[in-house]
């Protein structure tokens, strides 16, 4: 695979180039080591593409997972407690999970266990490789990366997406770089409030 497009949101790429240049090189190397040809294994059953050999999201995810794990990128999970009270949520946002739970109980409310999980984290950089539907990308960009950043677990989030060129050779409904790039730009310069790097990849 190769990087075809990149977009730096809130100086996400600039942060990497200055503070984590070796990680940026590592990410580029992982992408280059994924053999796109070996992932072209899905026989389409869709009416408009019946019988065509497509790139398999499952196989691409497996390939990226293998390469990132080999480079010692680890899964990470941020746990927190929520409740229906806006005042309580604002009060407990910056507390540890145990303190959040205690505060919510002390206020007579029911604490609800919740968490955000990201696939690859290393040296306060989070990477999500996404070959899923549109809703998954929005969750990554506007919830997951933001939650890790606000919780002071990462300094920048990276989203790896297929370009339209690659997406057109996959099953229908898969999100693509150009569309999600548009969605980020449309929100304005400060939204989401987390430094990001969008990466568009293709064979």
Concatenated DSSP letters for 134-156? HHHHHHIIIIIHHHHHHTTS-SE
How far is it, in rounded angstroms, from Cα 128 to Cα 143? Answer: 13
How far is it, in rounded angstroms, from Cα 69 to Cα 119? Answer: 10
Please write the tens of the pLDDT for every residue from 31-47. 999 999 999 998 888 77
Instruction: Give the per-residue pLDDT at 104.
Output: 95
Q: Does domain 2-70+121-202 have CATH number 3.40.630.190?
A: no
Beta strands (DSSP E) in the chain are: 2-9, 42-43, 53-54, 74-82, 112-122, 125-129, 156-162, 196-202
Domain ranges across the chain: 2-70+121-202
pLDDT above 90 for 143: no
Global pTM reads: 0.89
Please write the tens of the pLDDT for every residue from 69-120. 999 999 998 889 999 999 999 999 889 899 999 999 999 999 999 998 998 9
Tell me the pLDDT of the chain averaged across its residues. 93
Q: Would you say 104 and 98 are in contact if contact means Cβ atoms under 8 Å apart?
A: no
């Amino acid at each position: 695979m190769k990087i075809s497009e990149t977009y730096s949101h809130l100086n996400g790429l600039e942060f990497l180039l200055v503070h984590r240049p070796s990680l940026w090189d590592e990410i580029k190397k992982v992408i280059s080591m994924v053999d796109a040809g070996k992932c072209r294994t899905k026989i389409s059953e869709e009416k408009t593409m019946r019988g065509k050999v497509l790139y398999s999201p499952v196989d691409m995810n497996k390939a990226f997972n293998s390469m990132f794990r080999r480079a010692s990128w680890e899964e990470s999970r941020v746990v927190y407690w929520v409740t229906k009270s806006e005042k309580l949520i604002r009060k407990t946002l910056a507390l540890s999970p145990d303190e959040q739970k205690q505060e919510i109980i002390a206020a007579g409310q029911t604490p609800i266990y919740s968490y955000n999980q990201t696939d690859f984290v290393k040296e306060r950089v989070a990477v999500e490789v996404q070959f899923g539907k549109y809703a998954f990308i929005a969750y990554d960009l506007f919830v997951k990366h933001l939650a890790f950043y606000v919780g002071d677990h990462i300094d920048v989030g990276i989203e790896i997406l297929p370009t339209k060129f690659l997406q057109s050779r996959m099953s229908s409904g898969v999100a693509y770089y150009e569309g999600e790039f548009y969605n980020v730009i449309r929100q304005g310069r400060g939204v989401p409030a987390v430094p990001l790097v969008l990466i568009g990849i293709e064979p």
